[in-house]
């Protein structure tokens, strides 16, 4: 099918990839295929996106968000359930999956929300969903939230953890250390995250979303839990306030540069790289709403970092493809190998671009990464089909 410099079994090799019925059948130097320029990497998995839609179609839809993901070299996304209305039961879950089945450009799956209202029946909702769909996790569960229904106490979390045999993903900020104000990094202290992580690991095993402090990361590394980091918590800091102004708000907030530098330096110890793609319109950001778009630029920025030697390609592939598949049980995804889906992205690492918002596909029409260097994929294959080829695209996404 294609031949080139392929990341295979933790190293680059010159080889061809033969595909049959969307599955990698054979990999080897004697396998013939179209020669590609650049490097062939596994297409990414973004386990943390907010594609909005429903009553928030003005800022993103499953269609626009998944197109952004495709242009960013992502083949599978995990959407979060804190939508309007909430994805807290089978009926809403099914409605959203039916939209994704028609509209998504990449493979799509969806978490189920844990709320104070559904906590006592969540096992029933899980059983109903699993009869039709693959449910990756419960979450993102909020220890702190302005909506009382979404703010889950440690006691409730403990009860649910004890009865559910399913991954629970946690937004770890303790409400005792959070208050309202702008810029929000002055009102959501790092102790909020560290305290919440400490208390959660005492309860049991979790997957922690968007960890932003070195202290919390160290606690998780020494536990049986896993965690993800975002590009913005590795590459941005509170020093961006002069550039971003009210646009700087994100939860958890940006931290001091020392935290960001530690996380990037210790990227090899991280489990997952995820965007926490959370788009708001320019007008909403001016009012201070928290969240950054990122699903389209995450992989391209980090490919450029790997080319520069700031991180290794092995670590990048592990965090953006292999580990997400392993942790969340996405069979057939994660790395290019015989028997897996033929999901890969071709990057011409010499074609480095400066990010400009008008080259991106999110409806929110802004990015905190304006001017950052990135290597965008020329071609993205989903199950062997050219879903993206030099700017042209087709819809091959499926729901899990």
- Kindly write down the DSSP assignment for every residue of 278-343, as one continuous string: ----HHHHHTT---B--TTTHHHHHHHHHHTTSS-HHHHHIIIIIHHHHHHT-TT-SS--TTSB--
The tens digit of pLDDT for each residue in 16-60 reads 999 999 999 999 999 988 899 999 999 999 999 999 999 999 999
Task: Quick: pLDDT tens for 288-341.
Answer: 999 999 999 999 999 999 999 999 999 999 999 999 999 999 999 999 999 999
Query: Does the annotation mark 276 as catalytic?
Result: yes
Mean pLDDT of the chain, nearest integer: 97
The whole-model pTM stands at: 0.97
- Which residues, 6 or more positions from 325, have their beta carbon under 8 angstroms from its beta carbon? 45, 331, 333, 334, 335
Q: What pLDDT was estimated at residue 70?
A: 98
The first and second tokens of residue 127, run together, are 């059983």
The pLDDT value recorded for residue 400 is 98
Tokens 């015989």 label which residue?
A: 338
**Segments of the chain with pLDDT less than 70:** none
Look at residues 17, 12, 41 and name the one whose alpha carbon lies nearest to residue 29: 17
| Neighbour count for residue 158 (Cβ, 10 Å) | 14
| Residue in 88, 107, 271, 276 annotated catalytic | 276
pLDDT score of 52: 98
Residue ranges per domain, the chain? 44-329
H runs (alpha helix) in the chain:
62-71, 90-103, 122-130, 154-163, 190-203, 214-221, 231-235, 241-244, 257-265, 282-286, 298-307, 313-317, 323-328
Residue 326 has a pLDDT of: 98
Q: In angstroms, what is the C-alpha Rg of the chain? A: 20
Q: Which CATH class is domain 44-329?
A: alpha beta
Tokens of 305: 């970092």
pLDDT of residue 1: 86
């Amino acid at each position: 099918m294609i031949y080139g410099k392929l990341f295979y079994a933790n190293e680059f090799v010159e080889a061809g990839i033969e595909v049959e019925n969307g599955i990698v059948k054979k990999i080897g130097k004697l396998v013939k295929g179209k020669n590609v320029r650049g490097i062939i990497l596994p297409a990414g998995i973004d386990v943390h996106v907010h594609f909005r839609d429903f009553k928030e179609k003005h800022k993103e839809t499953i269609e626009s968000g998944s197109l952004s993901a495709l242009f960013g070299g992502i083949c599978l996304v995990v959407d979060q359930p804190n939508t309007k209305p909430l994805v807290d039961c089978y009926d809403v879950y099914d409605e959203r999956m039916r939209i994704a089945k028609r509209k998504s450009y990449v493979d799509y799956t969806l978490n189920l929300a844990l709320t104070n209202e559904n906590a006592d029946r969540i096992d029933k909702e899980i059983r109903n969903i699993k009869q039709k769909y693959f449910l990756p996790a419960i979450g993102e569960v909020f220890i702190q939230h302005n909506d009382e229904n979404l703010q889950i106490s440690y006691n409730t979390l403990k009860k649910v953890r004890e009865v559910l045999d399913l991954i629970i993903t946690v937004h770890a900020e303790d409400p005792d250390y959070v208050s309202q104000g702008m810029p929000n990094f002055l009102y959501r202290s790092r102790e909020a995250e560290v305290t919440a992580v400490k208390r959660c690991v005492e309860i049991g095993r979790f997957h922690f979303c968007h960890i932003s402090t070195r202290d919390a990361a160290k606690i998780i590394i020494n536990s049986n839990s896993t965690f993800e980091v975002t590009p913005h918590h590795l590459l941005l800091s509170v020093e961006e306030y002069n550039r971003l102004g009210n646009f700087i708000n994100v939860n958890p907030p940006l931290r001091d540069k020392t935290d960001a530098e530690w996380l990037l330096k210790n990227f090899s110890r991280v489990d997952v790289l995820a965007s926490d793609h959370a788009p708001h319109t320019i007008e909403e950001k001016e009012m201070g709403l928290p969240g950054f778009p990122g699903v389209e630029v995450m992989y391209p920025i980090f490919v450029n970092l790997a080319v520069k030697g700031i991180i290794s390609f092995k670590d990048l592939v592990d965090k953006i493809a292999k580990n997400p598949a392993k942790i969340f049980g996405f069979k057939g995804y994660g790395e290019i190998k015989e028997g897996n889906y033929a999901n890969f992205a071709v990057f011409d690492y010499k074609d480095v671009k400066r990010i400009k918002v008008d080259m991106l596909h999110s409806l929110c029409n802004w990015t905190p990464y304006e001017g950052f260097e990135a290597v965008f994929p020329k071609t993205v294959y989903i199950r062997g089909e050219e879903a993206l080829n030099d700017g042209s695209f087709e819809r091959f996404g499926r729901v899990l």
